[in-house]
Amino acid sequence: MNTIEIEDSLALSVCMKQPVAFERGLGARVWDEQGRAFLDFTAGWGVTSLGHSHPVLVAAIAEQAGKLMQNPNSGFTYSPVRAKLLQQLQQVLPAGLVRVFFANSGAEANDAAVKLARKVTGRSKLLVASNSFHGRTLATLSLSGGPENGARFSPQVPGHQFLPFGDADALCAAMDEQVAAVLLEPVQGEGGVRVPAPDYLPTVAALCREHGALLIADEVQTGFCRTGSFFAVDAAGVQPDILTMGKGIAGGFPLAAFAVTARVAAGVAKGDHGGTYCGNPLACAAASAVVDYLVSHDVAGRVARLGLRALQDLQQLADKYPQLLREVRGKGLLLGLQLHSDAQVSALTEAALARGLLVTPTRNAVLRLIPSLLLEPAEWEEGLGILRSACGDVLARPGTAVRAA
Residues with catalytic function: 133, 218, 247
| DSSP conformational letter for 244 | E
For the four alpha carbons of 272, 277, 280 and 284, in that order, the dihedral sign comes to negative
- Residue 391, SS3? helix
Neighbour count for residue 297 (Cβ, 10 Å): 15
| DSSP conformational letter for 49 | T
| Cβ–Cβ under 8 Å, residues 288 and 85 | yes
CB of 215 to ligand PLP, least distance (A): 15
CB closer to ligand PLP, 145 vs 189: 189
CB of 188 to ligand PLP, least distance (A): 8
CB of 230 to ligand PLP, least distance (A): 16
Q: How many Å apart are CA 324 and CA 404, to the nearest integer?
A: 7
Across 33-137, where does the E strand assignment appear? 37-40, 97-103, 125-129
CB closer to ligand PLP, 258 vs 321: 258
| Cβ–Cβ under 8 Å, residues 111 and 140 | yes
Which helix (H) or strand (E) segment holds residue 232: the answer is: helix 232-236
CB closer to ligand PLP, 278 vs 384: 278
Residue (of 40, 57, 23) closest to 372 by Cα position = 40
Neighbour count for residue 340 (Cβ, 10 Å): 18
For the four alpha carbons of 203, 109, 293 and 31, in that order, the dihedral sign comes to negative
CB of 53 to ligand PLP, least distance (A): 20
Residue nearest to ligand PLP (CB): 106
CB of 330 to ligand PLP, least distance (A): 14
Residue (of 358, 370, 386) closest to 32 by Cα position = 358
CB of 276 to ligand PLP, least distance (A): 17
CB closer to ligand PLP, 162 vs 321: 162
CB of 286 to ligand PLP, least distance (A): 15
CB closer to ligand PLP, 27 vs 192: 192
| DSSP conformational letter for 397 | S
CB closer to ligand PLP, 314 vs 370: 370
Q: Could you give phi then psi for residue 144, rounded to 5 degrees?
A: -110, 145
| DSSP conformational letter for 322 | T
CB closer to ligand PLP, 88 vs 105: 105
Cα dihedral 217, 218, 221, 224, rounded to 10, equals 50
Partners of 30 in beta bridges: 25, 38
Which residues of the shown chain bind ligand PLP in the complex (CB under 6 A)? 45, 105-107, 110, 133-135, 185, 189-190, 218, 220-221, 246
Orientation of helix 377-396 relative to helix 342-354, angle to 10°:
120
CB of 205 to ligand PLP, least distance (A): 18
Q: How many Å apart are CA 120 and CA 216, to the nearest integer?
A: 13
Neighbour count for residue 213 (Cβ, 10 Å): 25
CB closer to ligand PLP, 125 vs 134: 134
Q: How many Å apart are CA 139 and CA 142, to the nearest integer?
A: 5
